[in-house]
């Protein structure tokens, strides 16, 4: 079940990336291409079959895990920038790309790197599953590492949620509102994934389902808005800049 969800997420992200290559080569909407590319890279690193050889190439000390979390930070930040600008959400934009937002991004990134450095993180272990049992210090620090890894996406999701909810009740085209609804579901799932980090180990499968669901919701939502942009010339425009460069 876990691998099926991970492979499904990777396939959807990779398909979206490939579909955006022609436009990216023309210089159109490149930020959307990079969002899908980052999501695909995160999907690759989440699978054991790719994680082990990549991490061994990086020294075999779980640097691939840290890289995965930083890629997620970058992807969710780019998503948030596009969504906040697209729907004119100045409040969300300040919380994401203003001084506060950039400060939060820097704080979470620095904390994640610091916690990683403080732990004994070798040898390679997908999801750092074996790291906690290596020492008492690892066991104490690992929950903070995961809380930090989930913390920034949760912060961004909560910042975006009001603007996404407002879009649902707007007069924008149905595809745009559908995309906003899917991304709102992704924001809720991201927040739920953060809360599940504090749940018992028995909820491991639920964490996988929710976290992969969040990625699929966000990617699907962006695809819906992109499709709305494709249809816009035939419908007299979207009334939103959500898919412009």
Q: What is the CATH number of the domain that holds 36?
A: 1.20.1070
Say if 240 falls within a structural domain. no
Say if 130 falls within a structural domain. yes
Q: Checking phi first, is residue 170 left (phi over 0); if not, alpha (psi -120 to 50) or beta? A: beta
Write the CA distances from 191 to 114, 184, 199, 223, 225, integer angstroms: 23, 11, 13, 22, 22
Could you tell me the pTM of the whole model?
0.88
Distance between CA atoms of residues 235 and 244, nearest Å: 16
Q: How confident is the model at residue 232 (pLDDT cuts 50, 70, 90)?
A: low
pLDDT digits (tens, 9 = 90+) for 116-157: 999 988 788 888 877 877 788 888 898 899 999 999 999 999
Q: What is the mean pLDDT of residues 219-243?
A: 67
Say if 241 falls within a structural domain. no
| Residues 91 and 162: beta-carbon distance below 8 Å | yes
- How many domains does the structure of the chain reveal? 1
Say if 132 falls within a structural domain. yes
pLDDT digits (tens, 9 = 90+) for 177-219: 999 999 999 999 999 999 988 876 777 888 889 999 999 999 9
What's the domain range around 85?
Answer: 2-235
Say if 243 falls within a structural domain. no
Say if 126 falls within a structural domain. yes
Say if 230 falls within a structural domain. yes
Say if 31 falls within a structural domain. yes
């Amino acid at each position: 079940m876990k691998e099926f969800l991970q492979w499904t997420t990777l396939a959807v992200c990779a398909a979206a990336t490939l579909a955006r290559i022609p436009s990216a080569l023309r210089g159109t909407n490149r930020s959307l291409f990079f969002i899908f590319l980052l999501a695909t890279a995160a999907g690759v690193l989440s699978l054991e079959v790719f994680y082990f050889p990549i991490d061994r190439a990086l020294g075999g000390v779980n640097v691939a895990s840290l890289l995965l979390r930083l890629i997620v930070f970058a992807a969710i930040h780019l998503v948030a920038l596009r969504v906040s600008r697209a729907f004119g959400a100045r409040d969300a934009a300040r919380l994401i790309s203003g001084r506060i937002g950039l400060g939060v991004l820097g704080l979470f990134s620095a904390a994640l790197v610091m916690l990683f450095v403080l732990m004994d993180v070798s040898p390679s272990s997908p999801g750092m599953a074996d790291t906690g049992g290596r020492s008492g210090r690892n066991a104490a620090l690992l929950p903070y590492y995961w809380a930090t890894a989930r913390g920034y996406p949760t912060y961004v999701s909560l910042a975006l949620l009001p603007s996404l909810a407002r879009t649902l009740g707007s007069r924008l085209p149905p595809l745009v509102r559908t995309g906003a609804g899917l991304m709102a579901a992704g924001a809720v799932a991201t927040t739920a994934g953060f809360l599940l980090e504090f749940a018992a180990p028995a909820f491991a499968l639920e964490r996988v389902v929710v976290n992969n669901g969040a990625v699929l919701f966000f990617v699907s939502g962006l695809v819906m808005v992109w499709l709305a942009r494709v249809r816009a010339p035939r419908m007299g425009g979207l009334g939103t800049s959500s898919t412009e460069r």
